[in-house]
Amino acid sequence: MGLDRTGFSPRVQQKIVHAGVTNTSYQEASRQLTALADLAVPPKPVERLVHRIGQERIDQRDAAVAAHQGLPLMEKDAVADPERPCPAVAMVSVDGGRIQVRSGAATEPEPPRTGHWRESKVAILETYHGESHAEDPDPDVPRCFLDLKRTAEIVHGLGHPLPVGLSFEEGQTEVPGPGRDLPEASSTAHGRSARPGRPERLVRSVLASRACSDDFGPMVHQAAWERNFFGARKPVLLGDGLPVNWTIHRRHFSTFAPILDFVHAPSYVFAAAFAGRTPAEGAAVYRGWIQAVWSGQTAAILPELEARSAELGAAPADCADSDPRSLVSDALRYLRNNADRMRYDAYRRDGLPIMTGAVESVIKRINQRVKGSEKFWSEPGAEAILQLRADYLSETPIVDAFWTTREAETPSGRVYRRAS
């Protein structure tokens, strides 16, 4: 009947793994299998099968990366494969998540820690349909970035320091000025307003691993090559300001246009604008600065930041992160380092994505499965669940192809299929 040493047929294994990966725990997966599929599978067998299938997928992934690394340079990067679809706009975005791992052999050098929290790495690869425009289709900064209370919450949520005591009265939530509301005509099917000129997302694939950045970069490169991203008319790598993102760009995606996530820019601009100023003074400065950044004119505000930094003085070594001197110097350094990746007006004219909300949303969905105060993983278990969770979040047919091939290769007897 197509049973292997697990005692389950390939079709039943597929249901068990799906439940184990998409539910919040193996216990919940066991309950769901009983309730929805009349399968009485205890949590431990679910866990063992997920680990086994996860390791099979890891082996496939690693073999594909090794084979790709052995290709000649021109085959790896520069030449589009005419036998495969070639996207018009291709985007790669890399970010990090968190997972609790019990002590053991680590996948990368890490500083000594008292807890179990470790970093996971996540990448998404998306294709888009984006129209080119003669002029910037969205020249005015969206009003959501002019809402002081909301922007302060975003900055706090990103873990960026703010001036001590900064607060806004109930009626003082918006920066004075005309701003720009999104038109009702641009509402999406989900009831949210779409940014004018925003590209339409087509297909997403996901990677997740505990591997170090030196190993994760080649994984992302191979996945992008598999989807023919190196033949895209407009390839981009979108990320926040972490140096590891731009190291991966330099090593593996140097032909891709580098774009700094716009949402991280207001964190530095907002904090620096209000550093050492009253809320009214800071609001006026912030409005001018954030509009300049949105318009791709980051270099234009650098002299103002330099003058402000000179006025406040250099931040001493023991300076608090929330000290105005530190906030201004950090913003100046961040904008200087990333100015070439902040040409947002040009990106919008080319119909390119400029925000990393997609990868952050995927990380949240991965965290729903792997992250929790009572969830601890071994290194092999963490890698297996990250691999499979990424597979099941991908919109490419990778999961169906895996199970179809695996079922066809089942050695122990004939597999009976339901007639279609």
Is the same domain home to 101 and 54? no
- Report the number of distinct structural domains present in the chain: 3
Determine, yes or no, domain membership for 399.
yes
Is the same domain home to 172 and 316? yes
Is the same domain home to 269 and 336? yes
Domain range holding 36? Answer: 10-71+378-408
Please identify, among 341, 369, 386, the residue that sits at the C-terminal boundary of a domain.
341
Contacts of residues 113-116 at CB distance under 8 Å and 24 or more positions apart, as own/partner, are 116/376
pLDDT at 195: 76
Is the same domain home to 214 and 116? yes
Determine, yes or no, domain membership for 415.
no
Does the pTM surpass 0.75? The reply is yes
Is the same domain home to 95 and 227? yes
Is the same domain home to 300 and 310? yes
Determine, yes or no, domain membership for 235.
yes
Determine, yes or no, domain membership for 189.
no
Is the same domain home to 127 and 57? no
What pLDDT digit, counting tens, does each position of 241-282 carry? 889 999 999 999 999 999 999 998 889 999 999 999 999 999
Is the same domain home to 295 and 272? yes
pLDDT at 135: 95
DSSP state of 206: E
pLDDT grade, residue 5 (50/70/90)? low
Determine, yes or no, domain membership for 348.
no
DSSP 153-184: HHHHHTT----TT----TT--B-SS---PPPG
Is the same domain home to 115 and 233? yes
User: In 3-state terms, what secondary structure has residue 79?
Assistant: coil
Determine, yes or no, domain membership for 123.
yes
Determine, yes or no, domain membership for 186.
no
Is the same domain home to 240 and 382? no
User: In 3-state terms, what secondary structure has residue 94?
Assistant: strand
pLDDT at 83: 72
What pLDDT digit, counting tens, does each position of 349-371 carry? 999 999 988 899 999 999 999 99
pLDDT at 412: 56
User: In 3-state terms, what secondary structure has residue 237?
Assistant: strand
Alpha carbon separation from 47 to 26, 41, 143, 377 (Å, rounded): 6, 10, 47, 11
Determine, yes or no, domain membership for 165.
yes
CA 172 – CA 115 distance, rounded (Å) = 41
What pLDDT digit, counting tens, does each position of 7-24 carry? 788 899 999 999 999 999
DSSP 334-388: HHHHHGGG--HHHHHHTT-----HHHHHHHHHHHHHH--TT--B-HHHHHHHHHH
Is the same domain home to 200 and 281? no
What pLDDT digit, counting tens, does each position of 305-358 carry? 999 999 999 989 888 999 999 999 999 999 999 999 999 999 999 999 999 888
Is the same domain home to 226 and 175? no
What pLDDT digit, counting tens, does each position of 41-87 carry? 999 999 999 999 999 999 999 999 999 999 887 777 656 667 777 88
